[in-house]
Each structure stands twice: as C-alpha cells, then as structure tokens.
C-alpha cells in the first residue's frame, strides 16, 4: 500500500488556524502533492467527500524557503520574548473606576497592610521589598516586654496603638458583614491574616500590675521622637525599617487613656467575632481581654484622651490628636455587646450615646474616621434596631440612632448638602484637613452598608424630613467616591498605587523609596532617596495616598506627605468601601446571605 500525501484538517471557531483531524468527518482533505499519486482510482473509493481538495507544493528557490524559515522562527522568538517581558514587567491594572476592576482594587488595597508589617515576616509575605524589622521593640530601659509585630502607621516607622486598633475594628466589621464576598474573590484568608497580625499586637499593649493580673496602663506608641530628642529617630531619619539601629523607646499612658482603651476594646471584640468559627480559643481570648480592658476603663472612671498625656508620646498628639473619648467607650461597649450578648454593654452604649454625640467636635458630625466613631456607631446600632430589636429600655436611643443615620446619609446625598463637592465629584468632609480620599472612603462605606441593611429588610429607601433617598442613590454615591479614587477624576489619576495606567510614583514612604538591594543605608544616606526626583524603586502596591487638595490639584512629590502619604487607617476605610461595593460572581440568597451580606453572623452571640 502506497503512502498517502493527504491529511485531514478542521477548523475551530476563533482559533484562526487549521488543526489536524483524526478522521474525515467534518474535515477537509488536503493533498500537498509531495508523494506520487496512487494509481488507485478515486472513483473506486467506497466513500466520496465533497470537501476534498488537492494542493501541490513545489519549491522553486531554496533561498526563499530558507529566508521564510528564518523570518518565521524570528517572529516566534519575538512573540515569546514579548510574552515573557509582559509577564515580568509590573502590571498596570485596569482602572478608570470600572466596577469590573473592584476585585483587583480590593486585592491591592489589602496588600498595603503586608507592606506595613513589623516584626518577623513570614516567607510567604507577598511584599518582597520588606524583611524582618523592629525585632527588639519593647526592650527599653525598665520596660522589658515584647512589642514585636503590629503595623508601621504610614510612611514613617512609628507604630501607633490608636490607629492600629481603629484599622482592626473596621476591617473586622467588614469581614463579619461581607465574609462571603471576601471568600468569593479568594481574599478571606488574606484579610483574616491581616486582622490577626493586628490583634496579636493589640493583645500585648495591656500593662498589668505586678501584684495582680489587672491592667494598669496601656502602651500607646512604639518609637517616634521626644521634643528634646537630638539623636536619630523615626522622624529625623529617612531609613527602611530593616535598617533601623537607633533606640526605639516605648510610650505608655499613665493618666488618661479612655479613648485608646475604648478603641482597643472595640478591635478585640470585633476580631473575636471574626475568628469565632475558625479558632474558638483565640476568639475567646480576644473577647475576654476586651472585657478585662472594659472593666479597667469604666470601673476606674478613666477620663480624658490619650493625646493629652505627654507620656503617651509626642507624635500621638501631633499626628493623631484625639478630641474626645466617650465615642470610643460607647463604640467599644457596642462591639462587646455584639461579641458576648451581655446586655450590660448595650446598656452602657445606649445610656452614654447622647453624651458621646455632645462631646464630639461639630466639624466631625457625619464623619467616620480614627477620631470620631459616632456616625459609625449610629449606623451599627440602627442595624440592631432593624434586625434584632431588643426593645425597651434601649428603644429610645436606638430610635435616635436610626434617625441620625438617615440624617448622616442625607448630608452626603442632598443637593445642596451639608458637605461640599469638588467639580469632579469628590465629597469634602474635612475642609481644613488633608487626606480627603480617606474621609470619602468611609462615607462611601457607611452609605453602601446602610443600603445593604435596608435591602435585608426589603425597604426601598429611607428619608430625613421631606428628603427621600433610595438604595440605588446610596450605591451610586458610594460608587462615585470609589470611582474618583480609582481614576475618574480631573487628574485622571488613580490614587490607589499600582492600579490603572497613571498613579503616584513618588509615594511618601521610607521602605518604598529606598532600593531593596542588599545594602544597609544610614539615616544620612537615606535622605538621598527622600529627596530624589526619580520614582520610587519599589511600587507600594495598594497604598491609597492622601489625595488631591480641594481644588483637585495633586503634587506627586515624595516630600509632600499631604498629597502622597498613605496610612493604615486610610487604607482600612478604602478596603471597607471596596468590599461593600464589589459584586459577588454568584450571590447566594440562602443561609442568611442577602446581597453578599451575612444577615445573622453579627448577632451570633445574642440570644433570640
């Protein structure tokens, strides 16, 4: 039997080429004419195919064939090199604020916390320009304790207990409400790791009496600088955390710590709900420590803010000057009630809520951030009233909270509203402060989560006076603020580093601005990188910088932190807004999950 020079091929829609076929059915017979034709008659063949064609290939000039082969191989090599280069170069992610990019933005925003970790970093830490640092934190003079771990606050190398606790409270709240969303996008384990990194550190901050196990004070700040410091320190030095060799004294509050205690109470209580199913022992430890600290803060009638006490640290007063303390104690009591079901804590929260409102700065009305928890507390207690109403004697305060929540939302949406908007659409919640994006993020989060609460009870919207707002308006407002951050703004700038084609490249951040090249750089050497005009050698993926000014101008300058510095408190708000807005690929409607929100988890410790 003679060899055949024919082959059978078929095409696949979208493949753009012919592929070999195992048989003749639904294929094309190709005869290249390379082998002499058989004398066997085609007519004698038992089957005839209408899709049969003969092709004859002859080589007239071998030099042309060689040239063709060389060109063909060169094209393959160029394509392979391009593919490899694409894989190795830093990715410019889809931006423009498109909702299709929110899962990626959420992933990036969480990565910023990995870049801020202090202590012994696991080998799996995804930020490769960071290493172990602060390994002797807590070892200072008479204080010989371990304060290794936690997060560096921002572009400096200071660890603030207050903002760490705030960030952990907020992240925990998002996991309790939206754990199904985190899981759907593969981020649940990641965000829980971030929370545990922070809660592990917070557990170390209680200073107990030598004669009893009762707490007597709190660590508030790790390093920084005293007014009379003449030596190298975190403020004077521009140095990677891994290169620090200067002393790192700790600061502990001796007189007024009510606000700091309240925020840590809230963080530990909220985190206990996060780990309730995954690690019951750890969850119990968090809740019990939170209760111990609550007893310390309320029974001893501790008053005042931690930033009033110079022993708490100079930078605490300079950078995070707390203006009140009752809102944190009420915030902590609310979360302790949710974490334990103990009505004693709900009584404290409802009996002191009005006092917290009165103590807050007028300029903070409707603003949720590290210094003011009233707005968030009103929304959280409104959830309790709507879905698990405990009735009297709590009802009057809960009614006040739901009315306040409606007024807060109206202040974001109304035209004209309480807050001004830039021409590009960014809400200005604190006109005299920088970092407008961080305030806008928490406003977006409160708007969206409140809309989700309304969705659970199947209410189309709410009103304040004659003003009605639908759930759709809530979502649209939240989306507009997030879209602005991600590039839908006059600068066409994504303020989330690494997201989109145009983002800040000179972020005010020590570790990101100094090359990770195996060399240690001293304080004086580091200033070279601080003042350099070149882009940061390390992309601080996921950091949300402070953002534009009120005129929507932005200076991408490393030494202008009012534009280019990120913080863990700010990023926590952005993560909250992103996970609230992102849509699940498939939204379950069973087991108490409605619209991506877990209806019942937050009430799991409360008896029906």
Alpha helical stretches, state H, 414-513: 436-456, 471-485, 510-513
CB atoms within 10 A of CB 77: 9
Retrieve residue 407's tokens. Answer: 């007024």
Measured CA to CA, the distance from residue 443 to residue 374 in angstroms comes to 13
Alpha helical stretches, state H, 300-435: 314-319, 326-340, 343-359, 374-387, 395-413
Residue 573's contacts (CB-CB under 8 Å, 6 or more residues apart) are: 170, 368, 369, 438, 439, 441, 442, 445
Residue the block writes with tokens 């404290």: 348
The closest alpha carbon to 183, from 238, 304, 527, 174, belongs to 174
User: In the chain, what is the straight-line distance between the N-terminal and C-terminal CA atoms, in Å?
Assistant: 85
Pairing label, strands 250-253, 467-470: unpaired
Measured CA to CA, the distance from residue 337 to residue 334 in angstroms comes to 5
Q: Is the peptide bond before 416 cis (omega within 30 degrees of 0)?
A: yes
Residue 2's contacts (CB-CB under 8 Å, 6 or more residues apart) are: 35, 36, 38, 40
DSSP 82-111: HHHHHHHSPP-B--TT-GGGHHHHHHHHHH
DSSP tag of 514:
S
The crossing angle, in degrees rounded to 10, of helices 343-359 and 395-413 is 50
CB atoms within 10 A of CB 588: 14
DSSP tag of 124:
T
DSSP tag of 544:
B
Pairing label, strands 420-421, 427-428: antiparallel
Q: What is the set of active-site residues?
A: 508, 556, 565
| CA 230 vs CA 138, 236, 322, 535: distances in Å | 21, 9, 27, 31
Q: What are phi and psi of 296, to 5 degrees?
A: -60, -40
Alpha-carbon torsion (100, 111, 160, 318), positive or negative: negative
8, 24 contact by CB (below 8 A): yes
φ/ψ region of 556 (left if φ > 0, alpha if ψ in -120 to 50, else beta) reads beta
Retrieve residue 411's tokens. Answer: 């202040």
Retrieve residue 70's tokens. Answer: 């060389």
Pairing label, strands 52-54, 28-31: parallel
Q: Is 493 exposed, middle or buried, given 0-12, 13-18 or 19+ CB atoms closer than 10 A?
A: buried
Residue 370's contacts (CB-CB under 8 Å, 6 or more residues apart) are: 162, 163, 166, 320, 569
């Amino acid at each position: 039997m003679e060899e055949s020079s024919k082959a059978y091929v078929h095409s696949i829609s979208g493949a753009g080429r012919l592929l070999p076929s195992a048989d003749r059915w639904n294929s094309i017979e190709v005869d290249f004419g390379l082998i002499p034709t058989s004398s066997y008659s085609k007519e004698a063949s038992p089957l005839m195919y209408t899709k049969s064609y003969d092709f004859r290939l002859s080589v007239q000039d071998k030099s042309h064939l060689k040239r063709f082969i060389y060109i063909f191989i060169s094209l393959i090599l160029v394509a392979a090199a391009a593919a490899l280069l694409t894989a190795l170069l830093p990715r410019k992610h889809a931006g423009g604020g498109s909702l299709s990019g929110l899962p990626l933005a959420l992933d990036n925003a969480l990565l910023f916390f990995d870049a801020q970790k202090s202590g012994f970093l696991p080998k799996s830490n995804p930020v490769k320009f960071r290493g172990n640092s602060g390994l002797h934190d807590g070892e200072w003079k008479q204080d010989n304790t371990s304060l290794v771990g936690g997060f560096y606050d921002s572009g400096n190398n200071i660890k603030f207990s207050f903002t760490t606790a705030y960030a952990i409270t907020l992240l925990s709240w998002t996991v309790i409400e939206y754990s199904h969303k985190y899981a759907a996008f593969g981020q649940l384990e990641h965000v829980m790791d971030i929370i545990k990194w922070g809660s592990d550190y917070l557990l170390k901050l209680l200073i107990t009496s030598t004669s009893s196990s009762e707490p007597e004070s709190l660590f508030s700040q790790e390093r920084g600088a005293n007014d009379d410091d003449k030596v190298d320190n975190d403020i004077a030095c521009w140095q990677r955390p891994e290169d620090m060799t200067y002393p790192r004294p700790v600061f502990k509050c001796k007189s007024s710590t009510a606000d700091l205690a309240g925020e840590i109470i809230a963080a530990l209580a909220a985190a206990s709900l996060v780990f309730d199913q995954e690690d019951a022992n750890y969850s119990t430890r968090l809740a019990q420590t939170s209760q111990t600290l609550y007893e310390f803060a309320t029974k001893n009638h501790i008053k005042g803010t931690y930033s009033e006490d110079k022993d708490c640290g100079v930078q605490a007063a300079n950078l995070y000057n707390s203006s009140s303390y009752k809102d944190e104690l009420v915030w902590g009591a609310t979360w302790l009630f949710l974490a334990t079901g103990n009505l004693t804590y709900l009584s404290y929260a409802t009996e002191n809520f009005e006092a917290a409102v009165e103590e807050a700065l007028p300029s903070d009305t409707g603003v949720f951030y590290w210094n003011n928890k009233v707005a968030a507390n009103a929304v959280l207690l409104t959830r309790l009233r709507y879905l698990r109403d405990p009735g009297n004697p709590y009802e009057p305060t809960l009614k006040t909270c739901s009315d306040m929540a409606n007024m807060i939302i109206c202040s974001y949406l109304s035209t004209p509203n309480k807050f001004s908007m830039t021409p590009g659409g960014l809400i200005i919640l604190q006109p005299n402060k920088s970092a407008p994006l961080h305030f806008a993020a928490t406003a977006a989060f409160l708007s969206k989560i409140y809309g989700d609460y309304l969705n659970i009870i199947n209410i189309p919207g709410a009103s304040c006076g004659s003003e009605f707002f639908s759930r759709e308006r809530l979502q649209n407002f939240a989306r507009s603020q997030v879209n602005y951050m991600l590039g839908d703004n006059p600068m066409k700038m994504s303020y989330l580093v690494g997201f989109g084609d145009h983002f800040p490249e000179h972020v005010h951040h020590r570790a990101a601005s100094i090359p990770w090249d195996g060399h240690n750089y001293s304080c004086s050497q580091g200033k070279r990188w601080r003042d350099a005009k070149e882009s940061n050698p390390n992309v601080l993926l996921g950091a949300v910088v402070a953002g534009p000014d009120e005129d929507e101008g932005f200076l991408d300058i490393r030494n202008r932190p009012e534009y280019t510095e990120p913080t863990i408190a700010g990023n926590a708000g952005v993560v909250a807004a992103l996970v609230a807005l992102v849509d699940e690929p498939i939204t379950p409607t069973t087991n108490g999950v409605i619209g991506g929100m877990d209806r019942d988890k937050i009430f799991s410790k409360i008896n029906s």
